[in-house]
């Protein structure tokens, strides 16, 4: 009787335990970032009232037999990061890493896209959020790397928005770009993780929470 009860408890725990998704090379991992001034400013500008607000995205691949991601982040710029380290940096959702795995519906040219992304290793992080300046931010790395078999980018660039929902420009961005000595790139074509995750060319294949 006790053995049956023990087995029943194990089955119940297994049913309640989320299964870790198994990403494939080239899958995109969208991360709900931990609270910080920059993440809050990004979320405020890109939140679209959906269930989750993503502030970071990385490319999954296997490096030396280990699960890793290729990401553009600060500090470090474009770098290789162990998957577990990437998961540990995410905000907790239901006590687990707030990371969603998305996969291209059409994987033609995917291997070439991942190879192209690796060619950007070592580039500095793009704090200016502007295209074609020899630096990359997280979704810009994906935007530059992921192309179809004809070499065309598969993710669109749209006019960037740094304003809050009420139309006001947050003090964070005003002070941030004043320190850089650059104008805020409001309206400049660009990308962000939140919009990218909602593109129809992607499908969700798993969550870590």
Q: What pLDDT score does 6 carry?
A: 43
The pLDDT tens digits for 130-185 are: 999 999 999 999 999 999 999 999 999 999 999 998 999 999 999 999 999 999 99
Q: Tell whether pTM > 0.75.
A: yes
Give the pLDDT confidence of 6-65 residue by residue, as tens digits: 444 333 434 444 567 889 999 999 999 876 555 566 656 555 555 789 999 999 999 888
Give residue 125's pLDDT: 98
Burial of 51 from C-beta contacts in 10 A (0-12 / 13-18 / 19+)? exposed
Q: Say how far apart CA 173 and CA 170 lie, in whole Å.
A: 6
Contact 157, 132 (CB under 8 A): no
d(CA 124, CA 30): 21
């Amino acid at each position: 009787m006790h053995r049956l009860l023990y087995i029943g408890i194990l089955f119940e725990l297994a049913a309640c335990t989320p299964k870790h998704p198994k990403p494939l090379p080239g899958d995109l991992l969208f991360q709900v970032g931990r609270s910080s001034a920059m993440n809050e400013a990004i979320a405020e500008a890109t939140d679209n009232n959906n269930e989750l607000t993503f502030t970071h995205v990385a490319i999954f691949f296997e490096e030396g037999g280990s699960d890793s991601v290729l990401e553009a982040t600060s500090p470090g710029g474009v770098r290789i990061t162990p998957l577990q380290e990437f998961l540990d940096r995410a905000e907790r959702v239901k006590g687990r890493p707030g990371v969603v795995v998305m996969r291209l519906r059409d994987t033609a040219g995917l291997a070439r896209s991942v190879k192209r992304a690796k060619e950007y290793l070592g580039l500095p992080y793009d704090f200016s959020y502007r295209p074609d300046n020899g630096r990359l931010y997280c979704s810009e790395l994906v935007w530059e790397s992921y192309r179809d078999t004809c070499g065309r980018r598969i993710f669109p660039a749209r006019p960037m928005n740094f304003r809050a929902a009420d139309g006001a420009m947050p003090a964070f961005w005003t002070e941030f770009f004043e320190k850089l000595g650059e104008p805020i790139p409001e309206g400049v074509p660009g990308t962000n993780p939140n919009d990218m995750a909602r593109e129809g060319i992607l499908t969700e294949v798993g969550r870590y929470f």
